Structure 1
């Protein structure tokens, strides 16, 4: 079977204050495959995630996701496209404290102007071991449970691309392996591509077979493996 790319990056550059903070000559990721975006703090990992999620617009080069050139999207179209095609798991989980777990999972539907599918939300929660927490409030959950709620929210719209920002920060080895396995399983079930940004070298062993894009110190060229 011929693999098709869900993501292609070509000659990408981004600058702040005239200083280049990100340079990716070329990278591609096939549909359903995994990738690791590795590098130290401040090397541009979060910037790249924001570019891939059409939160920022690339200043030079091209990002194409599932055949869509992100630079060609107007701001409102970018918001709509993101809500329907990209799942984002931020480092700060950003659950809404005034909403119950189920309604936090349904937020992407509201943001994208889609009908709320409560059965899908409940199925996602059940698959993540949270079937009995749908009506709980975020403050009633453990840290691991809140992270699983955020994973369910990121997967709600069955995204083409799942982006996770430092999901294993401050976790021990067992919890690290558990979170990576959860993300990989959710991506596989949705036939989504998974890209994890991290400075955690343990992820190379935790996600065998993943493509690796390393963002080194500024001024050096990144490399893919």
Structure 2
């Protein structure tokens, strides 16, 4: 009876580690899927931001053709070009954080799978002390990786908030351009069309960022 109780006591930590490893594998797999989706959204935003840059350059040339009547529109078009550049820089920061997160999640996934095998080995061996020590060490390493991933998660969320604030500024610029387009005299129609496209694209980016903010990845576990 005593021997059985001792065996249960000795093997329980390994069993517990095995459960944690199984949960870690499932959680890491979900995180990896979420990160891939976030990365796809970021790539889409970068592509649209580049489109704004091209549109802004064309708008600047159009404003020059319109002359003094479109001076304000030209200034705003240049600001939208700067906005496009800043947004791409911000999204690149997000992509770097995403890359770091992928590395950590992949390592956690690999770690969890190996820990499950170790935990099973400990139980089958009836409590091999050497294997148990390896398992405990790997549990500590996994905890460090989880903390690193949590930090990256927080940094990503903050960077996303910064990007969202930047897009809010872009929205103000686009709407201001629509107002300025009304003073373009004979170019009013062309300027209004361009400013409307600016506004639509900025709204598209805002929608993409809103979707990113709702990702389950930022909710943690």
Q: Which one has a larger percent helix, Structure 1 or Structure 2?
A: 2
TM-score > 0.5, shorter chain as reference: no
TM-score by length of 1: 0.21
TM-score by length of 2: 0.21
Tell which structure's C-alpha radius of gyration is larger.
2
Q: Which one has a larger percent strand, Structure 1 or Structure 2?
A: 1
